[in-house]
Structure 1
């Protein structure tokens, strides 16, 4: 899955701005997480999991899958 946080955010019915407010970060931070330009800190992962009704492990696994997808695209 290439847009893990985006997928979870949309599933919850939140905009990037709403998610940013709930987690306590800026809109550009959420955008950077969704595009893979940065990853959430452990503190923000916990908040994301709470807001998005999932586990930290689920977010972490989805983020790792996104990195694997990017590496495959670079190699292929």
Structure 2
């Protein structure tokens, strides 16, 4: 599941630093989500979906990330 966070960010063309800034979290926090060390809270998951323009199902690995 954690690899989906990084894939969605990269699909949007965002650097980790830019995404962290837009989300109001530290780069360490974002990195921890992307490596599976920690998970975002439910409210932050919603913010990730908005920023990456994807669904929670896609980020959680329930369905594959769309290619567009």
TM-score class normalised by the smaller sequence: 0.7 to 0.9
Please list, as runs of the form range in 1=range in 2, the aligned pairs for 1:4-43 lying within 5 A after superposition: 4-43=4-43
Distance 1:29 1:2, change over 3 A: closer
Which runs of 5 or more structure 1 residues have no equivalent in the other structure? 63-76
Q: Hey, which bits of structure 1, 4+ residues long, moved more than 2 A?
A: none
State whether residues 49 and 59 of structure 2, in contact with CA within 8 Å, keep that contact through their aligned partners in structure 1: yes
RMSD, aligned CA: 1.6
TM-score when scaled to structure 2?
0.82
Larger proportion of helix: 1
